[in-house]
Homo-oligomer: A and B are copies of this chain.
Amino acid sequence: MDLKTSLPLTSRTAKLERTVIDVKGVQIGGPEPVFMAGPCSIESLSQMREVAHAVKGHAHILRGGAFKPRTSPYSFQGLAEEGLEMLQAVGEEVGLPTVSEVMSPEDVDLVARYVDMLQIGARNMQNYALLRKVGTLRKPVLLKRGIAATIEEWLLSAEYIMSEGNPNVVLCERGIRTFEPLTRNTLDISAVPMVHHLSHLPVVVDPSHAAGAWNLVEPLALAAIAAGADGLMVEVHPHPEAALSDGPQSLLPERYCQLVESARELCTLIVRRQTHA
């Protein structure tokens, strides 16, 4: 763990107290964990409304993808601006701030007009032009860890954003690529305490992409809370079997709400340190 000493030297934005990021009134990195929920892809207004109303009492932030990074150019690519309009409308209807992915520097201003938090996906963790561009705004950024990024590389990607002037970065662990074929990715649960050890930034966990299967989401989510995560991002779909992307790893709204109940109970036991060790 030689980073303990070396990172403060490379980071020009190091500080001792934990940073709390405000997303339209929701505090990420404070005493309470934050829950973000919604479908992988925004598919229609009725789908978004159904999810949003089902989760609104159990979520702080509404998620939904409008620009979708897909391995194949022939897969569904998302509804783009039309999707963002739906997300914004539904967010206002249920009174939740919103988060959505942006994939290209050219789209940053567009996406930023519609959502309260910008997500940088795993494939773009080292898309430096994109990182610099979101760094010129003050809007909070959710920076997912790359599928094969070391924790050091991930923190240095956060530096790209912060060094441009935007200090509002939330890290998101979502699983790394290993040899194990039974899970879509391997959730690196150690990344949660390690980030708290090395950095002042909050770190949340996305158990859905790590697992790739809905029945692993709950145990991984509870593990993340127990390890000290500052929040969860969970894929929820009212009809997973009909989802245009990531159906197998999406929770039904009622299971998601039960999960949040369990996570909240767990939190009463986990004392989350407010300075990084």
Residues of A participating in the B interface, judged by any CB pair closer than 8 Å: 1, 3, 10, 12, 69-74, 103-107, 123-124, 126-130, 146-148, 150-153, 156, 159-160, 163, 176-183, 186-190, 192-194, 197, 210-211, 213, 215-216, 219-220, 222-228, 262, 265-266, 269-270, 277
Min CB distance A56 to B, Å, is 25
Q: Which residues of B contact A148 (CB under 8 A)?
A: 146-148, 177, 179
Could you list some 20 contacts between A and B, CB below 8 A? A1-B213, A69-B126, A71-B153, A72-B159, A103-B128, A146-B148, A148-B148, A148-B177, A180-B190, A182-B190, A186-B190, A189-B189, A190-B211, A192-B219, A193-B216, A193-B219, A194-B216, A219-B228, A222-B227, A266-B266
In the assembled complex, the CB of A112 is this many whole angstroms from the nearest CB of chain B, namely: 16
Supposing A180-B151, A215-B197 touch, asked if A159 and B190 sit within 8 A by C-beta, the answer is: no
Residue of B nearest to A2 (CB): B182
**Number of copies of this chain that the complex holds:** 4
Q: Contacts A105-B105, A126-B69, A129-B104 given: A224-B222 contact, CB under 8 Å?
A: no
A269 — which chain B residues lie within 8 A by C-beta?
262, 265-266, 269
Known contacts A74-B12, A188-B180, A219-B228: A106-B106 contact under CB 8 Å: yes
User: Which B residues are CB-close (under 8 A) to A223?
Assistant: 189, 223-224, 226-227
CA distance A106 to B127 in the complex (A): 13
For A160, the chain B residues whose CB sits under 8 A away are 73
A106-B129, A216-B194, A223-B189 given as contacts; is B181 within 8 A of A150 (CB)?
A: yes
Chain B: CB-nearest residue to A12: B74
Chain B residues in 8 Å Cβ range of A225: 226
Q: CB-nearest residue of chain B relative to A121?
A: B126
Kindly list chain B residues whose C-beta atoms are within 8 Å of the C-beta of A159: 72-74
Contact of A176 among B105, B180, B270 (CB under 8 A): B180
Chain B contacts of A189 at CB under 8 A?
A: 187, 189, 219-220, 223
Least CB distance, A247 to chain B, in whole angstroms: 14
Min CB distance, A222 to chain B, in Å?
4
